[in-house]
Structure formats: structure tokens, C-alpha cells
Amino acid sequence: MAAIGILGTGRVGSNLARALVTAGHTVVIGSRTPESAAGGRDAVPGATYTGPRDAARTSDIVISALPGHVALDQLAELSTELRGKVLVDIANATTGAPTMRPLHTDASLAEHLQRALPGTRVVKTLNTMLFTVMTDPGSLTTPPTAFLSGDDTEAKRAVASLLGDLGWREEWIEDLGDVTTARATEALILLVPHVVRQHGLRPFAVSLAR
């Protein structure tokens, strides 16, 4: 099992950490206040809490569960620690509610991360669903789709394997191609305010029907 670093201690990061610990991975959670996070109500039993730099440095795969509007600045500060690592970007960088429009209009957040971190292999995924579906895709009545975008084939293969540990079947994972294809999945955030307004925060995901 790989050592997984998760940057971010909110409900998204904690949800992923809990599932990955259950799957048998070594999970290190990076927080700017690790002692407080380890003692908080969302603390994950079996995970280790440390600072963001240590979490990135000691992990094989790093998942950014940071809010999309701060992810670029905070991850750029970790360029040394992230060099050579696989960085899983699951965020959508948006303006505030209620519009929630993409913050970057020239390229996707994933592309900006890849440019800022040229020594890191960025893979975009899991950004087209409510966070609960990330770790329980089988809970939906319609099989969801986890899209992959990234320039490195081996990195995408490693992330697909990690998704398998979270319950994603191989046929539910769609490799779209290089990192520029993340523009398409990040644009799907335009659907979210309307879906939530109609149905509330019920679990949902985008699904590619064939």
C-alpha cells in the first residue's frame, strides 16, 4: 500500500482519509494546526497529523483537499516537497456562492498547478460529484464516472488504482487525456448551484452514459 498524504482537514479531506485508512493505506494528514486537527471532531483514527510540508515530503501520493480558491498559492509553496510526487487535484476553483463560476478563465486549476509545479505529476479527478460519493460511488442508483486528466500515464494509472481502493470500478473511470482536459470537468461546476437548489445536498455525480 502507498503512503498517502492529504492536505486539508475539512470534511472532504477527512472523508477521504477515513476511507483510505480503512483500505489499509498509511495516511498522513497535513494541517497548519496539526495538534488541533488531531483532537477535533473530524479527526481520523489511524491517520497521522503533521504539517503540510512533512505530509507532502513523506508521502508517495499527495491529495489536495484544499479549497480551490487557495490551492494554487498554498501548493506552490510546497514545490520542493512535491517534486517527483503524484499530486491528486480534486478541487474546483470558483467564485463564491451563489454563482460558483470558475475562478480561472484562461485554463483549469489543474493546468495552473502543473505549470507552478513542473516537477510534480498532477492528476485531476473526483471534482464532478458531492464529496460523499468520492468514497462511496456504489451508493448511487446510477453508476457515476470518475474522470482523469493528466500528462503522465503512470501517474494516472496509480490514481486509478487508488480509486479502486475507494470502491470505483474500472468501468466507472474515464481517462480523458492530458491535463488540459480538466477544463471540461472543472466547467461542470456550472451545474452544481442549480442541482443543489433543486435537490439540496443529496449525493450526486456526473455520469457518462453509454
Question: What does the pLDDT look like over 195-208, one tens digit per residue?
Answer: 988 998 899 999 99
Percent of the chain with pLDDT over 90: 85
Model confidence at 1: pLDDT above 80 = no
Across the chain, mean pLDDT equals: 95
In single-letter form, the type of residue at position 27 comes to V
Going by pLDDT thresholds of 50, 70 and 90, the confidence category of residue 134 is very high
| 137 and 205 Cβ atoms separated by less than 8 Å | yes
Task: Quick: pLDDT tens for 135-191.
Answer: 999 999 999 999 999 999 999 999 999 999 999 999 999 999 999 999 999 999 889
CA distance 13 to 30: 10
Mean pLDDT to the nearest integer, 41-49: 94
Residue 172 backbone dihedrals phi, psi, to 5 degrees: -95, -5
Residue 207 backbone dihedrals phi, psi, to 5 degrees: -125, 135
* The residue to which cell 451563489 is assigned: 98
CA distance 5 to 50: 10
Going by pLDDT thresholds of 50, 70 and 90, the confidence category of residue 104 is confident
Nearest to 94 by CA among 112, 118, 67: 67
Cell of 158: 496509480
Model confidence at 40: pLDDT above 80 = yes
Query: 3-state SS of 54-88?
Result: HHHHCCCEEEECCCHHHHHHHHHCCHHHHCCCEEE
Write down the pLDDT at residue 106: 87
Cell of 40: 477535533
Q: Helices in 77-152 by DSSP H: which ranges?
A: 79-82, 109-116, 131-134
Do strands 146-150 and 121-124 pair parallel, antiparallel, or not at all (unpaired)? antiparallel
Model confidence at 16: pLDDT above 80 = yes
Write down the pLDDT at residue 94: 85
CA distances from 186 to 49, 105, 127, 149 (A): 30, 11, 7, 11
